[in-house]
Structure 1
Amino acid sequence: MEQIVRVIGAPTDYGANRRGVDMGPSAIRYAGLADQLRAAGVEPVEAGDIRAPYAEECDPETRSLRTGTARFFDETKAVCTQLAETVESALAAGELPVVLGGDHSVAIGSVSGSAAASPIGAIWFDAHADLNTPSTSPSGNIHGMPLAALLGIGEFGELEWATAPNLREENVVLVGLRSADEAERALLEERDLTVLTMSDIDRRGITAVVDDALEAATDGVDEIHVSLDLDWLDPTAAPGVGTPVRGGVTYREAHAAMEQVAARSAIRSLDLVEVNPTLDRSNETAELATELAASALGKRIL
């Protein structure tokens, strides 16, 4: 029976400094996502977009926690709560949710929904650690906090909506990390997450690193969530992102990683986030997102 993929848009730019990433879902769809998914042997079904008011309609300085600042906190909570319910419903119907961001804060909703019913691992393909909290974040931007939220770190430990059930930090893996704040580095030394940096990829190659990531993420669980931030790639391959960091993976390394994930694990859910068409060249980053989604879901050269 053909796998049904439920495509869910989360058009937010609440979590970022630079505007435009809320147009990411439209750009990815326009770039041919449905055709790429069919080429991977799955059948896409559109769920439309989660309702997300424009940032101009909201109060950016919402301070809903006792310490620190989380910009657009209430709006992010509303979007992620809706998204978690939508992802959970898709899984209950036997569908595989593919979430189109939006900034990376939407992963709070997608992972929470995916982890609601049973244990899950998570692989974070990202240039950044995403482990800040409102009290440690230099900017207050929630797109730098989703992993901290999902793991209940810091102030997030008090927020049931933000914390993913059935996600152990031992099953969380960061791949391709090359930018972390001081507080995040200290946290990574204390916690049990697996961190595989760009230096590891340089020394050992993408295949060996992704092998290690899959082993850690699937230890004791049957399925994983893949969160793919397009700034994981080098800006020469993916220019349309809000927080580019030089020295990322190449086009071919990214495809090899996704193909390996598809071959050696069961993906329960997938994020494609941080595509910003206002910073892109001819929609090439959105097109790359569609290709990588297809590779992650089984598309092969032969």
Structure 2
Amino acid sequence: MNVKRLNGEEEDVTENGADEPWRIPIDRSQAPSREPGPIDLRRTFLQAAYTGIPTFMGTPICLEPEDLRAGGVDVAVFGVPLDSSSGHRGAAYGPRAMRSDERYLFNTPELMVSASTRVSPFTSLKVVDYGDAPIDIFSVEKSLPSIASTVREVAGAGAIPVILGGDHSLMIASVGALAEMYGPDKVGVVHFDAHPDCHEHIFGHRITHGTPIWRLIEESRIPGKNFVQVGLRTPTGPDDQLFNWMRRQGLRTHFMVEIERRGFTAVLDQVIEEILDGPEFVYLSLDIDVLDPAYAPGTGTPEPGGLTPRELFPAFRRICAETNVIGIDVVEVAPHLDPGYTTTMNARRAIFEGLTGLAMRKAGMTSADYVNPIASGQLKFPLT
């Protein structure tokens, strides 16, 4: 079946002779004509977070790549509501929850300022919501090409894709697409997770939320030495065989026991040094279960003894400021397991800190661990 997109081009949405209705775009041929560009859905400048049509932190929306280009968009946030590769379902609802966290009173991006740096990311960057990637809710295998296509649309328009998961299988598509665009040896991945995600298969299935790194390496999309992992601590893996495979592939992995012994700041300094050792571009992947369950109960595979938000947030900000980040994902948020909205709030704040880091880099504020000297107590002025 051929269908027309907004730009008039036809797309074949037929595969193996069977129509896939989840891939058919909306026919906008009868819609009023408009100039390409972002669309602000707010009726008023200041509105409560629980009102209006939810977009990520109240940002405008874009529907097509032409909108991204016309708007000079720096960052496009889009969802991947997929959890069919996870044994614990629920992460498919993560994108909608992260878009509009009702625990915040207001959702006005222009008023948001980083308390640590005094940088306002939404006034320095043009950030939009790009909707959701089309996915087949019954098949992660069929969904991966669509996810990759959405990543290419965003990156091809000159914007940084920020992906709201969904489960971690999406990284097969997102990192794979960026590696094809920039070159496999040029892309590095900083992977925050309680689990290695390096398994060859889970219960015989090779495409799952526990196998993306194995697939990316074995399919020669990203070399193992370009992965830097932070926060691993699960007692169910890696076993000795997988542990040795990770070492042979050259993965640079920082387990929680190392963080406990050396301190997080020392480990983070090494992480940034390692990810700059070779790759020109960085993809930042956050499985929310890297946080201790005290801060992120709303995830399918919680592991006690994890990072705190006070460790994660500066790490996200620093990596985005001090390295050349070309993509971000935040995955495995399962809102139905999040009774106090804690997980959703921390996931959104991690993205906010990442956006702050991107804004700092755009402004040339790339020195290591920059914070505002007054807010941090380094510089005090007498009150007058």
Interval of TM-score (by shorter of Structure 1 and Structure 2) = 0.7 to 0.9
1:40 to 106, 114, 121: 121
2:165 to 101, 122, 138: 101
Q: Whose helix fraction is larger, Structure 1's or Structure 2's?
A: 1
1:149 matched to 2:219 = no
1:263 to 318, 321, 346: 321
Matched with 2:152 is 88
- Provide Cα deviations, 1:243-284, integer angstroms capped at 9, x if missing partner: 000000011011121122123212110000000001002322
Letter in 2 for 1:48: G
CA distance in 1, matches of 2:84, 2:341: 22
CA distance in 2, matches of 1:87, 1:47: 11
Mapped contact 2:80–2:170 kept (Cα < 8 A):
yes
1:220 matched to 2:278 = yes
Matched with 1:176 is 231
Q: Alpha carbons of 1:14 and 1:39: their partners in 2 closer, same or farther (altered >3 Å)?
A: farther
Within-5 A mapping of 1:18-29 = 18-29=88-99
CA distance in 2, matches of 1:259, 1:46: 20
Mapped contact 1:240–1:275 kept (Cα < 8 A):
yes
CA distance in 1, matches of 2:299, 2:280: 32
Mapped contact 1:240–1:278 kept (Cα < 8 A):
yes
* Cα offset, 1:3, TM superposition: 5.9
3-state DSSP of counterpart to 1:261: helix
Tell which deviates more after alignment, 219-228 or 45-54: 45-54
Q: Alpha carbons of 1:282 and 1:39: their partners in 2 closer, same or farther (altered >3 Å)?
A: farther
Letter in 2 for 1:117: M
Matched with 1:115 is 179
CA distance in 2, matches of 1:266, 1:205: 25
Mapped contact 2:191–2:228 kept (Cα < 8 A):
yes
The structure, 1 or 2, with the larger RCO (C-alpha pairs under 8 Å, 6+ apart) is 1
3-state DSSP of counterpart to 1:200: helix
* Cα offset, 1:39, TM superposition: 4.2
3-state DSSP of counterpart to 1:255: helix
List gaps (5 residues or longer) in structure 1.
59-74, 158-162
Matched with 2:297 is 239
CA distance in 1, matches of 2:262, 2:321: 20
Letter in 1 for 2:87: N
CA distance in 2, matches of 1:77, 1:30: 29
Q: Alpha carbons of 1:243 and 1:51: their partners in 2 closer, same or farther (altered >3 Å)?
A: same
TM-score normalised by L of structure 2:
0.66
3-state DSSP of counterpart to 1:227: strand
Percent identity for Structure 1 against Structure 2: 33
Matched with 1:251 is 309
3-state DSSP of counterpart to 1:298: helix
* Cα offset, 1:233, TM superposition: 0.4
Within-5 A mapping of 1:47-86 = 47-54=130-137, 58=138, 75-86=139-150
Q: Alpha carbons of 1:139 and 1:250: their partners in 2 closer, same or farther (altered >3 Å)?
A: farther
- Provide Cα deviations, 1:63-118, integer angstroms capped at 9, x if missing partner: xxxxxxxxxxxx22222211112112211211010011101001111111222222
Q: Alpha carbons of 1:77 and 1:138: their partners in 2 closer, same or farther (altered >3 Å)?
A: closer
CA distance in 2, matches of 1:250, 1:273: 17
Matched with 1:62 is none
Letter in 2 for 1:113: A
Tell which deviates more after alignment, 2-11 or 206-215: 2-11
* Cα offset, 1:43, TM superposition: 2.6
3-state DSSP of counterpart to 1:16: coil
3-state DSSP of counterpart to 1:18: coil
Letter in 2 for 1:252: R
CA distance in 1, matches of 2:188, 2:314: 20
* Cα offset, 1:126, TM superposition: 0.3
Letter in 1 for 2:211: M
Q: Alpha carbons of 1:51 and 1:254: their partners in 2 closer, same or farther (altered >3 Å)?
A: same
Within-5 A mapping of 1:174-213 = 174-179=229-234, 180-182=237-239, 183-213=241-271
